[in-house]
Each structure stands twice: as structure tokens, then as C-alpha cells.
Amino acid sequence: MIEAIRDAGIREIGVVIGDTGPEIREAVGDGSQLGDVSITYLEQDAPRGLAHAVKIARDFLGDSRFVMFLGDNVIQGGISDLIRDFENHHEWNSQIVLTRVEHPQQYGVAELDAQGQIVRLVEKPENPPQ
């Protein structure tokens, strides 16, 4: 995952960690073994969601545009094209990559309008929108 971020041209990487922080720090280190990247660890005291992860990363992020890449995301072909697309659309304030899954009740789900725009995001919905 860090290699995919590095290959997209991102060199400063913040990693939000929780109770498995020591193991992640040991496995990832400062990033030097992965090439020209710098890793900063951001401790989250409990799993409080993605918005909270961004909130605790505020000092690290400053006013910069950023990529949030979840540890369990796998994007075939990497993220370089996605990053380039986002960089070329300065009017965008966000970009979310979606894919259909067999059991949406186990994931965060985007509800889309007729034009394919995101109306809302629902975490692990009991009755997912169609």
C-alpha cells in the first residue's frame, strides 16, 4: 500500500494507528526502506471513524490536498492515475473510488443519485441502497 502511494508521487505519508500501532511501527519503520518516503505516525485513541482520522491528522495535513488510502483497500493498477486525475481537477474537493461488492452490509456504502453523484455515505447498512 505504501509503495502504491509512493509510486503515485506522494512522499510524505501519515499513518493513523491505534492499538496495533507498535506492530505497524515495527513493520513500516520510518519509510526509508521503501524508498524516498517519510512516515509520520498519527495515534488514534479508539476506532472513531474516518472523519476522526482526518481530524487528528489536521496538523500533519495543514491546508494541503490529501489522499486517504485505507489499509484494506486494494486498487488494481495502483493509484497513480487516480492521483493525476484529482490533481488535474482543481475544482474537485474530493474523489471517492467505489466498487460493487457482494455483501455491502459489511462495508461503507455510497448512495448515488440518478446522475451518479454521491448523496450520502452509510457505514455497514442493514438494508443497503440499491
Dist CA 17 CA 70 (whole Å) = 12
Q: In whole angstroms, give the CA distance from residue 130 to residue 101.
A: 12
Residue 75, classified by CB atoms within 10 Å of its CB into exposed (0-12), middle (13-18) or buried (19+), is middle
**pLDDT average per 10 residues of sequence, the chain (130 residues):** 88 94 94 90 91 93 88 77 89 85 90 89 86
Domain residue spans of the chain: 2-90, 98-130
User: What does the pLDDT read at residue 23?
Assistant: 96
* Residue 65 pLDDT: 85
Rounded CA separation 41/15 (Å): 5
Q: Which three cell numbers stand for residue 87?
A: 490533481
Longest dimension (CA), the chain: 46
| Residue range 2-90 in CATH 1.10.3720.10 | no
